[in-house]
Chain A
């Protein structure tokens, strides 16, 4: 409850701050819309040459892609600014004040900056998802839809957790640009249907670097109905990854050396 109230304060401040910089506000919206257009266009072009991709039709793939865009938009709105600042805070010693507050430093540093100027993009991405779902032929099962949205929420956690694994080494390396580039390149693996990968690659992408849990598995559950195996895998891997990340964070704080005054 206390953390919810705190998050309410973060939201309030972030909105007031974002509206201070109008140009940046509009620029971010335009940039993200271009990104959405590119992502959808890639598949529209691919389906000019094939009817099925990894067993999915164009309509199904559009639901999958738009689901991914929603996860990305949530990530951009809720976490991305914080992720961007983290290496700077670590290297400049600006983490100091966060570590003396009686609140989880991981919560504070991951959520304090809500990118209000990406919030409109979240609405656009959600609109695209609704549009893609309405395009699907046949009736939509409410149960399937529930599990789809639930697992997309889990996908947000997986996306955040995975990025943190690539962020935290900055405590030792002091620069993690290379690692972050590797992360952003790797996320592309999750932007494709899971069935296109060979068996072992798919297994790795479902467990060790679980990018397929972000949007591909939720889409499969939506199309094929809730599978205990897939749902347990998604929630289990995401919980283990999250706990490992928290332990990694605690280990990193032990190595934090701050900076000279």
Chain B
């Protein structure tokens, strides 16, 4: 459904040093720099698949989504969405896609959702019967039947996002781009949105690309992720495999048997691994993946241990390492 080949986007940005003299100088001569937003993206997305696009702020996720929805033109490369070239902006293409941006509203602020949806019915030429059925189904799934006739600006952020989701899905798109759909929402609404997206995927099987800074969104919705760093796609594969492939360590947690730890014991832990955490009789250390068995055996030999567990690191930690950034939030 979505096929991307060597897609590239470069923005030309005016570089201006601070100060009045630099501003005056820029009136006559300007320095421009080229900022690569997306560098050679290659991937495909199949029907019914939800792909998580992950990256730090400014990594190029939104630019990629906007190119695939036809909003901005690429500098090079090709993309086919449902067989169409997105930036040719053909109506037949636009009738089958949808874009939801958590940080931008598409609905008319002063009008109730019901009125906005009527306009969208005209725009997408949805037959009345299909429109009534779809609206009824979506409002029930999102539980916003009573808010339909309230002006958008009088709704809470969560209710507004639910209305945005209805607006985006009324025409049953075959490709859906979700750009941070849960941003700023409370935990209950985030969960409601995720549950809704899963049910929608189950019933309609669209291809979906999701960008989010919330790990919970990615873990619940996506089996496959694409990690983007400074415009380059550095990982494309299963969410689970990212740990096996890239997490360089595991975490060992020991429950000691009535044993007080002296300084020499602490030194032993420090030599065996990193990020040692000691809380009364519980010790946890981060150990290189290749040394886990050896370290566990050595610890069992040296200490009286009541319980020992070996865990994979958090997905978010691994992804954070891959992204090279630190803005990945986890609830």
Contact = CB atoms under 8 A, between A and B. Distances in A.
Interface of A: 2, 5-6, 9-10, 12-13, 16-17, 20, 93-97, 99-103, 105, 253-258, 260-261
B122 A6 contact: yes
B27 interface: no
A261 B101 contact: yes
Contact of B72 (A6, A16, A257): A257
A102 B98 contact: no
Nearest to B167: A97
Contacts of A255: 73
A96 B58 contact: no
Contacts, number: 75
Interface in B93-113: 94-95, 97-99, 101, 103-104, 106, 108, 110-111
A195 B274 CA distance: 89
Of A5, A13, A17, A261, most buried by chain B (CB within 10 Å of CB) is A261
B118 interface: yes
B62 interface: yes
B252 to A, nearest CB: 40
B71 interface: yes
A261 B179 contact: yes
A101 B123 contact: yes
Contact of B71 (A2, A5, A103, A258): A258
B122 A99 contact: no
Contacts of A10: 119
Contact of A9 (B92, B95, B122): B122
Interface of B: 11, 58, 62, 66, 69-73, 89, 91-92, 94-95, 97-99, 101, 103-104, 106, 108, 110-111, 115, 118-119, 122-125, 179-180
A13 B119 contact: yes
B115 A16 contact: yes
Contact of B122 (A5, A93, A96): A5
A103 B90 CA distance: 9
A48 B106 CA distance: 55
A97 B103 CA distance: 12
B58 A102 contact: no
A6 B125 CA distance: 10
A17 B112 CA distance: 11
Contacts of B118: 9
A100 B94 contact: yes
Contacts of A2: 122, 125
A260 B115 CA distance: 29
25 contacts: A6-B123, A9-B122, A13-B115, A16-B115, A17-B110, A94-B104, A95-B71, A96-B66, A96-B99, A99-B89, A100-B69, A100-B97, A101-B94, A102-B91, A102-B94, A102-B124, A256-B72, A257-B11, A257-B72, A258-B71, A258-B72, A260-B58, A261-B62, A261-B103, A261-B179
A261 B71 contact: no
Contacts of A254: 73
B62 A260 contact: yes
A107 B106 CA distance: 17
Given A97-B101, A99-B89, A260-B62, 9 more contacts: A5-B122, A9-B119, A17-B110, A93-B104, A100-B98, A100-B99, A260-B58, A261-B62, A261-B103
